[in-house]
Amino acid sequence: MGISWFYVVAILLFITNAATLCRGGITSSYVRKVESSEDMPLDSDVFRVPHGYNAPQQVHLTQGDHVGKGVIVSWVTMDEPGSNKVLYWEANSKIKQIAKGTVSTYRYHTYNSGYIHHCTIQNLKYNTKYYYMVGTGHSRRTFWFVTPPPVGPDASYTFGLIGDLGQTYDSNMTLTHYEMNPNQGQTVLFVGDLSYADKYPNHDNNRWDTWGRFVERSNAYQPWIWTAGNHDVDFAPEIGEPEPFKPYTKRYPVPYQASGSTSPLWYSIKRASAYIIVLSTYSATSKYTPQYRWLEAELKKVNRKETPWLIVLMHCPWYNSYGYHYMEGETMRVIYEPWFVKYKVDMVFAGHVHAYERSKRISNIDYKIVSGECTPANNQSAPVYITVGDGGNIEGLTTKMTEPQPKYSAYRESSFGHAILEIKNRTHAYYSWHRNQDGFSAKADSFLFFNRYWHPVDESY
Ligand SMILES: *[C@@H]1O[C@H](CO)[C@@H](O)[C@H](O)[C@H]1NC(C)=O
Ligand SMILES: *[C@@H]1O[C@H](CO)[C@@H](O)[C@H](O)[C@H]1NC(C)=O
Ligand SMILES: *[C@@H]1O[C@H](CO)[C@@H](O)[C@H](O)[C@H]1NC(C)=O
Ligand SMILES: [Fe+2]
């Protein structure tokens, strides 16, 4: 009896191993309720307009320079332009300083925006808590933020990762889980598709305003680093709106000139020990285009002795084994992937697919039409590709997967959630993904990143 039991176990083990060898990694067996995600109604608590005449609303922050000593403060006033000024002071100081910003409006079809304010504060101290105040009189509002440590190889820092957020009940759950995570990030890397206003008739831009009010509770206190997604294009010539990215660029400025970029849709920042490159999958990427030429020059500038962690953000993933948006990133991959391997990018974060997936370190740069060699190969110089398009927007979850799971896919699951990247020092970074159905600290997937420059060998899958 003992012997037959042994055989059963041996055969079972063999079958399991064979399955994992010729197929990919793990497709989560987690079973979730699949319901369509509904946008929160306009009178929801998260969209409440702050009290007071002309009170600043939709207050949000992003990095304001190349190295993390600057911050851009943005807000909207509805009744009149009001004050352009931001008053700010160090947490333990009485000396108040003033920075002056700009105000603008835009029109989209029949929608007229409020007064959109942007104010860049430069030359802040690193590692310092600041309070800041916007608005005047009884409508003044005060918030705070903490600047990052100086750029350097061992500066530890924690990033949150959120994508395709939208403004549904699920979006609210994702944001709440991010905020309640005991390892909540100090800055969010947002991989595109913000408000999904374009799902409404004539791209009802009031939904850009509600979105700004919804995320203010996080974004007024920590910078979100923006990436443009397809729902941020708002290209609608049929209603007289032929200018791509109009609402997005009017509302969400980024410090693109600081990295020599000619467009807010692609740029880079340094933050602590990370060098973050943001790309636009909805702009021209071909050889000789502005984005191509910028990226070609940009990658040469990255000094891994100063910023060991090379992170790329883009909206559309290159490696995606779901049935939806399958191979949409292929044209861009063919052009840029050799650089990512050559320059040893540590990780590439994308969204777009409304689910979660993490790849192995793989490269498909040997692919040639003539050779027909089209199987991604394991390559320790290649990035890990992670899709976190699982913020929870109105389009719902992507559940259809290509079968069998490709070898390059290490873990995939169609659940909403967020991820956390904890950079410890030049060699180690802990990464975890948290599905909304679990407790705030539960990790559904995790991975220990060894830096490609400082620790190029060994990686346990
Ligand atoms: C959104 O989440 C917050 C925090 O959990 C909660 O207080 C609020 O009531 C939620 N709003 C909606 C409309 O679900
Ligand atoms: C990774 O790809 C590069 C570029 O093709 C190649 O030179 C290198 O040998 C590959 N490394 C491994 C470990 O396969
Ligand atoms: C880097 O961080 C990891 C994880 O916390 C730790 O094990 C390792 O010793 C650190 N390395 C150095 C050089 O401090
Ligand atoms: Fe998308």
* 379 CA from centroid of ligand 2 (Å): 6
- Strands 309-313 and 274-278, by their bridges, are parallel
Ligand nearest to the CA of 337: 2
Q: Which amino acid is at 343?
A: Y
* 203 CA from centroid of ligand 1 (Å): 25
Q: Which amino acid is at 59?
A: V
* Per-run averaged pLDDT (10 residues), the chain, 461 residues: 45 41 76 78 98 97 98 98 98 96 98 98 98 97 98 98 98 98 98 98 98 98 98 98 98 98 98 98 98 98 98 98 94 97 98 97 91 89 97 93 95 97 98 95 95 85 46
pLDDT of residue 7: 47
Distance separating alpha carbons of residues 133 and 364, to the nearest angstrom: 50
- Cβ neighbours for 142, distance < 8 A, ≥ 6 positions apart: 131, 132, 133
Torsion of CA 335, 294, 347, 354, to 10 degrees: -70
pLDDT of residue 30: 80
- Cβ neighbours for 189, distance < 8 A, ≥ 6 positions apart: 159, 160, 161, 162, 224, 225, 227, 276, 311, 313, 349, 421
* Phi, psi dihedrals of residue 328, rounded to the nearest 5°: -65, -25
Distance separating alpha carbons of residues 235 and 109, to the nearest angstrom: 11
172 lines ligand 1 (CB under 6 A): yes
Residues in the chain: 461
Which residue's alpha carbon is at the smallest distance from atom 12 of ligand 3? 425
Ligand nearest to the CA of 171: 1
Distance separating alpha carbons of residues 212 and 217, to the nearest angstrom: 10
- Strands 428-435 and 445-450, by their bridges, are antiparallel
- What residues line ligand 3, using a CB cutoff of 6 Å? 424-425, 427-428
CA proximity to 301, closest of 66, 105, 137: 66
* Phi, psi dihedrals of residue 216, rounded to the nearest 5°: -55, -35
434 catalytic per annotation: no
pLDDT of residue 460: 55
Q: Three-state SS for 329? A: coil
* 47 CA from centroid of ligand 1 (Å): 10
Q: Which helix (H) or strand (E) holds 377?
A: strand 377-378
DSSP symbol at 322:
B
| 8 A C-beta contact, residue 370 and residue 386 | no
Residue whose CB lies within 8 A of the most ligand 2 atoms, among 341, 342, 408, for a mutation test: 341
Phi-psi region of 18 (alpha: psi -120 to 50; beta: other; left: phi over 0): alpha
Residue whose CB lies within 8 A of the most ligand 3 atoms, among 427, 449, 453, for a mutation test: 427
Distance separating alpha carbons of residues 275 and 291, to the nearest angstrom: 17
DSSP symbol at 272:
T
DSSP symbol at 454:
T
pTM for this entry: 0.94
The full set of domain ranges for the chain reads 152-192+265-450
- What residues line ligand 2, using a CB cutoff of 6 Å? 341, 363, 365, 379-381
| 8 A C-beta contact, residue 68 and residue 272 | yes
Catalytic residue among 325, 352, 354, 434: 325
pLDDT of residue 218: 98
Which residue's alpha carbon is at the smallest distance from atom 2 of ligand 1? 172
pLDDT of residue 244: 98
CA proximity to 224, closest of 254, 267, 259: 254
* 213 CA from centroid of ligand 4 (Å): 21
| 8 A C-beta contact, residue 395 and residue 37 | yes
Q: Three-state SS for 302? A: coil
Ligand nearest to the CA of 377: 2
* 377 CA from centroid of ligand 2 (Å): 9
pLDDT of residue 18: 38
The domain over range 152-192+265-450 is classified in CATH as 3.60.21.10: yes
The sheet that has 97-100: what strands, in order across it?
Answer: 97-100, 85-90, 129-134, 141-146
pLDDT of residue 34: 66
DSSP symbol at 241:
B
Give percent helix, percent strand, percent coil of the chain, each to the nearest 5. 20, 30, 50
Atom of ligand 3 nearest to the CA of 426: 1
Integer Rg of the chain from CA = 23
Quickly list DSSP for 256-270: GGGGT-SSTTSEEEE
Distance separating alpha carbons of residues 58 and 56, to the nearest angstrom: 7
pLDDT of residue 2: 43
Phi-psi region of 68 (alpha: psi -120 to 50; beta: other; left: phi over 0): left
